[in-house]
């Protein structure tokens, strides 16, 4: 198994020009024909009716009737085939989404920097915005005020009225019930079991979908990145926490209560290091950025006195490790061993085609070097497990908000394209 660093979206195969999951036949089976057609047009970007009929194995008459409905509803439009050759008769036409039919906003709420992206129905990111925040726990009303400010900011940047926004997607760290919009626990919130989805939806007077930030990052890969071409993959996020998202059969897996895959709070040592969730022995307490800094303080290396200095502090710690400082090097190597344990467990449990590692700490190569890979292999049971591909992803801070737009677009697909018909 080899690990490679990726500075932009990895291209495992040549992807269509559209966006959204490229669904396999088994993933389409539960969808109505109307939704299957819509999903196919969105995923390909532009496609002729005849190819829709062949791909979905349905009659041309059904395609004509259902696409006529979608055109009448203002979601699809006919466009001239750009690749056509000059010939007599009517020029061939294809179908594509109407970009300005709807607009959505994706928001990532963080303890350092809130980000937002405004996207049209065609999947085009029209504007982005960011807003510095504090690491202090907040009330729901305080978080709402900050969210309103960044939404107003991104709408102004795109020169689009907030009244034109059809749905909002929000990613937040913590334990989130996607179905109910209740945040059971988050390091950003003072209270437990906060009905953040209802609070936001009522205030903004538009559908608001809230999910765990690792799921949001996974949706970014599934809708806009390497995951579009894969039916099975995992995303691991390592920053001020450790999260995981998993896609099976082109769909995000959330668990029975929409609160699964809290990898960072899986236990790796009984009565171990204190995690910010209040429990001990969590993976996060050994691998997250604050855990690295805490370990450095324990090892009597100059501690970071301020939360906002954490990133710079870890960079200096990394430079010391590269120069051969054994105490600094030991901190990263220890974290790498815990990462090896986590990856081997994920491979054993889910057997994913691809694992994508993301987050600021992944810039520190000691976390994923050959020594970590050897440790990971030694924990694997079967040689066939070595085929799992692992990549380091560097999207930038806006990827979380970009993934949150997929939450909003998913909601609109369900309520407007399907149920609204």
Q: What is the DSSP string of 70-97?
A: HHHTTSEEEEE-TTPPP-SSSPPEEEEE
Q: How far apart are CA 177 and CA 293, in angstroms?
A: 31
The CATH code for residues 229-393 is 3.30.420.40
For 101-219+399-418, which CATH superfamily applies?
ATPase, nucleotide binding domain (3.30.420.40)
The Cα 123–Cα 104 span in angstroms is 9
- Using DSSP's 3-state secondary structure scheme, residue 408 falls into helix
CATH code of domain 11-99:
1.10.10.10
Tokens of 59: 């009659």
Number of Cα atoms under 13 Å in the Cβ half of residue 71: 13
Distance, in Å, from the CA atom of 286 to the CA atom of 94, rounded to the nearest integer, reads: 53
User: What is the distance between the terminal CA atoms of the chain, rounded to a whole angstrom?
Assistant: 48
In DSSP terms, which residues pair with 169 in a beta bridge? 106, 209
What integer pLDDT is reported at residue 418 of this predicted model? Answer: 75
What's the pLDDT at 382? 67
Q: What's the pTM?
A: 0.87
Average pLDDT, the chain: 87
CA 100 to chain centre: 24
Pairwise CA distance, residues 272 & 134, whole Å = 28
pLDDT for res 311: 78
CB atoms closer than 10 angstroms to residue 387? 11
The Cα 3–Cα 366 span in angstroms is 13
Hey, how many other C-beta atoms are within 10 angstroms of the C-beta on 204?
A: 18
* Domain spans in the chain, listed from the N-terminal domain onward: 11-99, 101-219+399-418, 229-393
**Which pLDDT value is given to residue 378?**
84
pLDDT of residue 387: 73
Q: Per-residue pLDDT tens for 271-299?
A: 999 998 889 999 999 998 889 888 888 77
Length of the chain: 421
The reply to whether domains 11-99 and 101-219+399-418 share a CATH topology is: no
The C-alpha atoms of residue 118 and residue 126 are separated, in whole angstroms, by 6
pLDDT score for 396: 75
* Bridge partners, 184 (sequence order): none
Residue 337: helix, strand or coil by DSSP? Answer: helix
Residues of the chain with confidence (pLDDT) below 50: 1-14, 84-86, 306-308
């Amino acid at each position: 198994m080899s690990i490679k660093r990726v500075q932009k979206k990895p291209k495992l195969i040549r992807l269509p020009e559209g966006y959204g999951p490229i669904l396999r036949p088994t993933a389409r089976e539960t969808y109505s024909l109307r939704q299957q057609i819509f999903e196919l047009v969105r995923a390909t970007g532009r496609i002729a009716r005849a190819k829709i009929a062949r791909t979905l194995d349905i009659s041309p008459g059904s395609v004509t009737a259902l696409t006529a409905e979608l055109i009448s509803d203002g979601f699809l439009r006919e466009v001239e085939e750009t690749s056509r050759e000059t010939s007599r008769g009517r020029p061939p036409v294809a179908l594509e989404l109407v970009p300005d039919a709807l607009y959505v906003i994706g928001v990532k709420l963080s303890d350092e920097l809130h980000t937002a992206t405004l996207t049209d129905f065609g999947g085009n990111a029209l504007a982005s915005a960011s807003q510095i925040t504090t690491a202090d726990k907040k009330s729901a009303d305080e978080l709402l005020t900050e969210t309103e400010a960044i939404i107003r900011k991104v709408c102004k940047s795109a020169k689009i009225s907030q009244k034109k926004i059809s749905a909002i997607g929000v990613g937040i760290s913590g334990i989130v019930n996607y179905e109910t919009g209740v945040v059971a626990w988050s390091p950003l919130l003072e209270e437990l079991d906060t009905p953040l989805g209802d609070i936001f939806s009522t205030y903004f007077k538009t559908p608001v979908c809230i999910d765990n930030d690792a799921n949001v990052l996974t949706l970014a890969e599934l809708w806009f990145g390497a995951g579009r071409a894969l039916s099975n993959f995992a995303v691991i996020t390592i920053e001020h926490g450790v999260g995981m998202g998993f896609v099976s059969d082109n769909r995000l897996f959330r668990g029975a209560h929409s609160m699964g895959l809290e990898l960072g709070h899986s236990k790796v040592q009984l009565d171990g290091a204190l995690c910010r969730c209040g429990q001990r022995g969590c993976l996060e307490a050994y691998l997250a950025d604050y855990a690295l800094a805490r370990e450095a303080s324990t090892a009597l290396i100059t501690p970071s006195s301020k939360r906002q200095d954490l990133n710079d502090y870890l960079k200096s710690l990394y430079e010391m490790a590269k120069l051969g400082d054994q105490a600094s090097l030991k901190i990263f190597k220890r974290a790498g061993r815990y990462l090896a344990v986590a990856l081997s467990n994920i491979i054993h449990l889910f057997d994913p085609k691809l694992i994508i590692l993301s987050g600021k700490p992944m810039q520190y190569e000691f976390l994923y070097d050959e020594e970590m890979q050897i440790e990971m292999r030694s924990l694997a049971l079967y040689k066939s497990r070595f085929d799992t591909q692992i990549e380091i992803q560097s999207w930038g801070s806006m990827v979380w908000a970009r993934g949150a737009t997929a939450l909003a677009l998913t909601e609109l697909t369900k309520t407007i394209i399907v149920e609204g018909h």
